[in-house]
Amino acid sequence: WWSWRFEEPVSYHLLQMSSFHNHSWVHLSSGWLGELQTHRWNSISGTFIYLYPWSRGNFSNRELVDLERFLRVNSIEIQEFYTDYFMSEDPFDLQMATGCELNSGKGFLGFLHVAIQGSDFLSFQNETWLSSPEGVREAQKVCELNNLNQAYTYRLHRLLSDTCPRFTLGLLDAGKAHLQRQVKPEAWLSSGPSPGPGRLLLVCHVSGFYPKPVWVMWMGGEEEQLGTQRGDILPNADGTWYLRATLDVAAGEAAGLACRVKHSSLGGQDLVLHWAPPSALGWILLAVIVALALLTGLGFWFRKRW
Ligand SMILES: *[C@@H]1O[C@H](CO)[C@@H](O)[C@H](O)[C@H]1NC(C)=O
Ligand SMILES: *[C@@H]1O[C@H](CO)[C@@H](O)[C@H](O)[C@H]1NC(C)=O
């Protein structure tokens, strides 16, 4: 059953958002190793905030300070570019994704994409600036100018094809203990809003697991219930994941069904939760309470008699 495990693609990217709303700028940036945020940007001091002790990877302070300077200059250039090309637009939104991704066979590929007012504007690949296919005239102009600026283009190319891959590999190594940790899921069952008369929606919640790959299925004995609907895997605040799997069944057929969870942290010992109609659970609870009451009563009675 290990075969469904997959390795997350190895990548690092910076997300930058520059907004000009109501006559003032806001710059937000964050750095992501795959789906894990490792850096924030302090736009007041123009420096990185390291979210983990290993967020510096294996880079020296000097190399990190160089990167910070590059990003500071970059946000100043965005403001100049804005005044040159988008003189009067308020609000104005620019989003940028920059980074590199390991492609099997091809090594790391760098990328840079810019969107303006929510639409693709331009991108940078293989040392070339390209305006987006539906590109506005401004995008073509900016690309032409940038392609002429060889020093800048070369600097960016080095950043994406050399610095970024080195940083990514260094991060993966420094953060190994965190990234390779195994956290076991918890699971519980509930019933969702009834899908129709005489029908039940069985919900299996699986939460708190890491890493992300997980297998969840409603089962009838050994038989997978193909009607099982998997939700999206959602992030918990602590960096673990949450998933729910639902099954729409006739009320009479729910008994005997179970939710089965496979995860690498469980070492082959699947979690299995059996569906028990709430009424049965109620009877069991009631029986336990009555038994406890009787025992307590008996206890008092014996003590008195003694
Ligand atoms: C812009 O600023 C004005 C005056 O300061 C304020 O009344 C308005 O709500 C602001 N608009 C937004 C979208 O923040
Ligand atoms: C950091 O680690 C990477 C990958 O192991 C390596 O290529 C690089 O030389 C190391 N040092 C720096 C400063 O990048």
pLDDT in tens, 239-252: 899 999 999 999 88
Q: Which residue has the higher pLDDT, 275 or 5?
A: 275
Question: Rg of the chain over CA atoms, in angstroms?
Answer: 28
pLDDT at 203 over 90: yes
Convert 10-60 into a string of H (helix), E (strand) and C (coil).
CEEEEEEEEEEECCEEEEEEEEEECCEEEEEEECCCCEEEECCCCCCCCCC
Please state, rounded to an integer, the average pLDDT across all residues of the chain: 88
| Chain position carrying tokens 């950043």 | 159
Element (H, E) at 77: helix 61-85
Q: State residue 4's pLDDT score.
A: 37
Which atom of ligand 2 is least distant from the CA of 59?
13
Q: What pLDDT is attached to residue 2?
A: 38
Give the Cα-Cα-Cα angle 52, 180, 6 (nearest 5 degrees). Answer: 125
Q: Name the nearest CA neighbour of 47 among 26, 61, 32.
A: 61
Average pLDDT over residues 209-235: 95
Taking only the tens place, the pLDDT of each residue in 99-148 is 999 988 788 999 999 999 889 999 998 899 999 887 678 888 889 988 99
At residue 3, the pLDDT reads: 35
Average pLDDT over residues 149-161: 91
Q: Is 22 in the pocket of ligand 1 (CB under 6 A)?
A: yes
Which tokens belong to 140? 């073509």
The number of the ligand nearest the C-alpha atom of 22 reads 1
Answer with the residue of higher pLDDT: 82 or 277. Answer: 82
Distance of CA 23 from the midpoint of ligand 1 (Å): 9
User: Atom 3 of ligand 1 has which residue's CA nearest to it?
Assistant: 22
Q: What tokens appear for 14 in the block?
A: 């910076």
Instruction: Read off the pLDDT of residues 62-78 as tens digits, 9 standing for 90 and up.
Output: 999 999 998 888 778 77
What beta strand segments (E) does the chain contain? Answer: 11-21, 24-33, 36-42, 47-50, 92-103, 107-116, 119-125, 128-131, 186-191, 199-209, 215-220, 223-224, 229-230, 234-235, 241-250, 257-262, 271-274
Contact status, residue 257 vs residue 249, Cβ threshold 8 Å: yes
Confidence of residue 56 (pLDDT cuts 50, 70, 90): very high
Say if pTM beats, i.e. exceeds, 0.85: no
Q: Could you tell me which residues are beta bridge partners of residue 190?
A: 203
Tell me which of 70-84, 185-199, 280-294 is least confident: 280-294
Question: Is there a contact between 50 and 39 (Cβ–Cβ < 8 Å)?
Answer: yes
State how far the Cα of 102 lies from the Cα of 10, in Å rounded to an integer.
5
Ligand 1, atom 8, lies closest to the CA of 22
Alpha-carbon distance 156 to 166, whole Å?
15
